[in-house]
Amino acid sequence: MRYLPFLFLLAIVSLGSCAQPEAEEALSGSIAEESLLEISIPELGKQYRDGSLTVLQAVQYYLARIEAIDQNGPGLRAVLAVNPEAEDIARALDAELKSGKDRGPLHGVPVLLKDNIDTGDKQPTTAGSRALLGNFAAEDAPIVARLREAGAIILGKTNLSEWANFRSTHSSSGWSGAGGQTHNPYHLSCNPCGSSSGSGVAVSANLCAFAIGTETNGSIVCPSSANGIVGIKPTVGLLSRTGIIPISFTQDTPGPMARTVTDAAIALGAMVGEDPKDPKTEGSSAFAKKDYTPFLDSTALKGKRLGYYTAVKGQHYKVDAVMGQAIAQLKEQGAEVVEINARVPSKAGGLSYQIMLYEFKDGLNAYLGKLGEDAPVQDIDALIAFNKADGVELQHFHQDILEQAAAMGGLESEGYTTALEEMLRLSREEGIDKIMEEHQLDALIAPTGGPAWKTDHANGDHYTLGSSSPAARAGYPNITVPMGMVDGLPVGISFFGRAWSEPLLIGLAYDFEQAAQARAVPTFEP
């Protein structure tokens, strides 16, 4: 880790955000809107290869759009920092294509990363905290290294719910001390959900081709649903977590966020791979696919038996109505849908929270301990003290979760090991696995969440419903896809199931997506 002064950070951010397209390479606004707004990864690649677009032009378009509508205009505040080297990297990748070197479908594709993911470059990794404004990692997280090798351009870092929303029980999703409040691009007064708030907003608002988020429980699928995009929360262990500021060793995972299932599938395949530093990935090669696009099947739903997980039914009548329309579409595509009233034991939620407190303290202390003597914090206790002394960090809500975690024992304690064993049993053998076996299901479905709520710093978040917990606690995969709108705000449908079932779920999600065509472009309503 390299810890650099805050003034240096300001220089980096300013350099990136003020970059201007070169006159001879710049696209006109009308051409840019026609060719790049809502563009897919395959179409972007096609234009690179037929010569109608350069990688540099695409990067400059996204940088200009970030400047116009994220830092100015509607002021989405989804992007914390842009990569000052992005244009140089784009030129190099253009040269590679001209010389005949093609890295594959992600060659020259701009991606934004949630700012809890390390990059070994001139971009800091902050987790949204002012305590880490000068934190520059010595090397890329493995998933970032794999994206670079595949040709993706790290365009910048996205804002997030600070510390991935594990700081306060009264937090406002999408707010961080480093970046302020991220706004929902459909209605700016509404919340983007979190904790991968900036990633969800950036993808939806066309500030990048795709983004990477992280999830412990809901942090990919909720902002994907609330911002009208696709999000894949993989099986824990499919992707490495090394170089990602942690919450829970048991539940954490990164995952792709994109405007289409196709784009998310392409991004997922580029990041898989075992990592000796992350024991959860051991043996994952037996299940991982370097290419998930063969599973994009427009007939995947035919003959499948899906269980409608009704634990969230009845909590929002307008969501129920949209879910009813989605179920009708699933049946039209040939699926059988049965209502599943069984629930994962509620005790699993309390156990999961206790496990997260133990693991957050352990993982965060390990990460902060590597920052060096110049960093303002080296452990969770120092972080708590920093926040109390800072003039911004506690202006809207407290840090009770940090304080609870700091009071926990170590991972060798009986309280932790007993809770972990019981939680996994309740969420797996007596949870998803049992439900799917008893009802002979191929997958489970549920509305991902309710429509976005009004952002309220005084009272915190106002969730109406969410279905992420069963898959999150089990460490199993979950994919959300746009299914419709409620009062001008998007809502998604989740497909989740057994461990390592990404190929099946991708097929089901793709088939539904192609039939429903529910993605709507945001209009930045005030």
195 as an active site residue: the answer is: yes
Of 138, 213, 145, 223, the C-alpha closest to 184 is: 223
End-to-end CA distance of the chain: 41
Q: Find the radius of gyration of the CA atoms of the chain.
A: 21
Considering the candidates 114, 157, 233, 280, report the single residue annotated as catalytic.
114
Whole-angstrom Cα distance, residue 146 to residue 242?
A: 13
- The active-site residue, picked from 161, 195, 197, 494, is 195
Residues in CB range of 283: below 8 A, 6 or more apart: 237, 274
In the numeric block, the tokens 């505040």 are attached to 77
Q: Are 197 and 215 in contact (CB under 8 A)?
A: no
Phi, psi of 38 (to 5 degrees): 65, 15
* Residue 70 vs residues 163, 176, 208, 478: alpha-carbon distances, Å: 22, 16, 12, 29
Burial class (CB in 10 A: 0-12, 13-18, 19+), 410: exposed
Contact 380, 246 (CB under 8 A): no
Q: Kindly name the residue from 176, 219, 468, 469 that is annotated as catalytic.
A: 219
Which two structure tokens, joined as six digits, stand for 386? 């920093």
- Concerning whether 173 is annotated as a catalytic residue, the answer is no
∠ CA 357-453-512, nearest 5°, is 90
Measured between alpha carbons, how far is 415 from 350 in angstroms, rounded to an integer? 13
- Joined tokens for residue 509: 């999600």
- State the SS3 of 414-445: HHHHHHHHHHHHHHHHHHHHHHHHHCCCCEEE
Residues catalogued as catalytic? 114, 195, 219
